[in-house]
Amino acid sequence: MASLRSGTGVQVVTPSEDHTFLLDEDALQKLLLQPDVKDRPVVLLSVAGAYRKGKSFLLDFFLRYLDHTYNNGDGGGEWLGTEDEALKGFPWLGGSERHTTGIHLWSQPFKATTSSGEKVVILLMDTQGTFDSNSTVKDNATVFALSTMLSSVLIYNLSQNIEEDDLQHLQLFTEYGRVALDEIGGKPFQRLQFLVRDWSFAYDHPYGSVGGEQLLKKRLLVRETQHEELQKVRQDIARCFEEVTCFLLPHPGLKVSTDPHFTGKLSDIDPEFKSCLKKLVPMLLAPENLVPKQIGGQKVKARDLLNYFKSYVDVFNSEELPNPMTILQATAEANNTSASSEARNVYETLMEEICGGTKPYLPPQVLEQEHHKCLNKALHSFDSKKKMGGEEMATKFKQLLVKDLEDLFDQLKAHNESKNMYRMFSTPAVFAALFLC
Ligand code: GDP
Ligand code: MG
């Protein structure tokens, strides 16, 4: 098994000067289309929130846990590491400069089996510091939106407390949730984990998840005096996410926050912080707590995730800030695209068995019959997938699929004919006849 040290953060979404975002499709394909990864449901953890609040630092502890639990067999022993080991992984840094822009994924997908026996793949997402002064509001909102739409667990990293603003940033998603609920018939998002850093009121609410739940309950309380929009966000959060939790982390100690020579050594970190990490990380990443990403009531496989990345980056590039209906449309399109590629896959695999490169020449009418059988199976695969966007969109995609498979069949037919020519020329009698006349 490759060691954690050989992995790296791969930038998949990069903001450009004109405030649009560039998707590195090649990098994504390399990551998501690996043979033993592409068909697994994805568990995607994203950490989002303001810059310089310890997101990347935290993710590096996630990496340690994942490496220990899923790459090193038994998962026993101490995953947190040894006292004097420097903390590696996603780059984290002191100083006030940003150094993570856009969206990064860890280059090594972690293969895991959930407690219900399902084989999944875990991906970690690090995001640009949102809401900082250098980026425009749109840049920030876009990164936050992409990470919310794409993750199954959104860790909303907040400093010191949960403020009104923090809830307001969720408004687009609760609105999206409202329009999506009818379409999907289930909650559009899985887990929202508020994570409050440097919590300093442990006498009011203790560190960890118990205090977190108390604080969250207080903050999500709807009051008549609140602005109507904020009342709505509060009411809708619970309707849009399957699970909403909160965890309070203590300050990690002055070495972590102020020492320019701090390398991440455990011995320099406050014991209370470490003991909280030991509780928090398995709550997110232990086999029994893994949450696969679902869109439209279907689990998203690694190769489907590619389509969602493309659709969402497109839609967030195309408008100032897209409205919930446009996002829903993009989701439905990606959804149909995934169903189409799966159907194409069915067709290709079946036809390969019949007339692939190593198979003998087939008479055209036999090939035609086989094509119809395989086409029907592919269309059946497409129809049996639950899709968003209604009949109209499905019909449009189905027509494109049929056209695509007919084109593919034309190529296979030509290839089959070339085998026939080869056969003719390689038969001595034909060869002789050609030269004698
Ligand atoms: P990011 O921009 O949110 O990814 O932040 P980084 O992970 O790069 O960390 C920025 C700085 O905050 C580094 O100097 C870390 O040592 C420090 N840091 C990490 N975790 C915490 C924390 O929980 N509280 C405080 N006050 N500082 C932290
Ligand atoms: Mg960072």
Chunk the chain into consecutive blocks of 10 residues (it has 437) and report each block's average pLDDT, rounded to whole numbers: 67 80 91 92 91 87 88 68 74 57 88 91 82 58 82 92 82 73 76 94 91 91 79 80 93 81 80 93 93 86 90 81 77 88 92 86 87 93 84 90 93 85 59 51
DSSP 169-190: TTHHHHHHHHHHHHHHSS-SEE
Please state the atom number of ligand 1 nearest to the C-alpha of residue 262.
16
167 contacts: CB under 8 Å, gap ≥ 6: 219, 230, 233, 234, 237
- Is the dihedral angle over the CA atoms 206, 208, 210, 212 positive or is it negative? positive
**Rounded distance between C-alpha atoms, residue 127 and residue 157, angstroms:** 11
Q: Give the distance from CA 145 to its chain's centroid.
A: 12
Give the tokens for residue 431: 């060869």
Taking CA atoms, 131 is separated from 49, 142, 254, in Å, by 8, 11, 25
| CA quadruple 88, 93, 98, 99: dihedral sign | negative
Of ligand 1's listed atoms, the one at least distance from the Cα of 94 is 14
Structure tokens at 286: 């232990």
Task: Assess contact for 324 and 175: CB atoms under 8 A.
Answer: yes
The pair of three-digit structure tokens given for residue 124, joined into one six-digit string? 């970690």
DSSP 295-313: ETTEEPBHHHHHHHHHHHH
241-248 and 189-197: which strand pairing?
parallel
Look at ligand 1, atom 25, and give the residue with the nearest C-alpha. Answer: 257
Residue with CA closest to ligand 1 atom 16: 256
Secondary-structure breakdown of the chain: helix, strand, coil percentages, each rounded to the nearest 5: 50, 15, 35
Q: What residues line ligand 1, using a CB cutoff of 6 Å?
A: 51-57, 92-94, 100, 129, 197-198, 249, 251-252, 256-257, 262
Query: Which ligand gives the minimal distance to the CA of 97?
Result: 1
Pair of tokens at residue 122? 């875990």
Report the separation in Å between the CA atom of 126 and the middle of ligand 2, taken as the mean of its atom positions: 7
Find residue 197's DSSP bridge partners: 159
Which ligand is the nearest neighbour of the Cα of 96?
1
Is ipTM > 0.85 here? yes
Query: What does the DSSP assignment read for 230-277?
Result: HHHHHHHHHHHEEEEEEEEPPP--HHHHH-TT----GGGS-HHHHHHH
Enumerate residues 6+ apart whose C-beta is below 8 A from 258: 94
Ligand 1: distance of its center to the CA of 124 in Å? Answer: 17
Q: Which atom of ligand 1 approaches the CA of 49 most closely?
A: 3
248 in Cβ contact with 207 (< 8 Å): yes
Ligand 1: residue of 147, 257, 268, 280 to mutate (most ligand atoms within 8 A of CB) is 257
Please give the structure tokens belonging to residue 414.
Answer: 């030509």
- Residue 96 is predicted with a pLDDT of 45
Q: Which of 51, 57, 125 to mutate to test the pocket of ligand 1 (most atoms within 8 A of CB)?
A: 57
299: alpha, beta or left? (left if phi > 0; alpha if psi -120 to 50): beta
Distances (CA, A) of 175 to 229, 233, 236, 332: 10, 8, 8, 16
129 CA distance to ligand 2 centroid (A)? 7
- Around ion ligand 2, residues with a beta carbon closer than 5 Å are 55-56, 100
Q: Please give the model's pTM, rounded to 2 decimal places.
A: 0.82
* 316: its two tokens: 């967030």
Question: What are the backbone angles phi and psi of residue 83, rounded to the nearest 5°?
Answer: -55, -35
> Which ligand 1 atom sits nearest the alpha carbon of residue 129?
2
The two tokens of residue 73 are: 């067999």
Å from CA of 145 to ligand 1 middle:
22
Ligand nearest to the CA of 274: 1
50 alpha carbon, closest ligand: 1
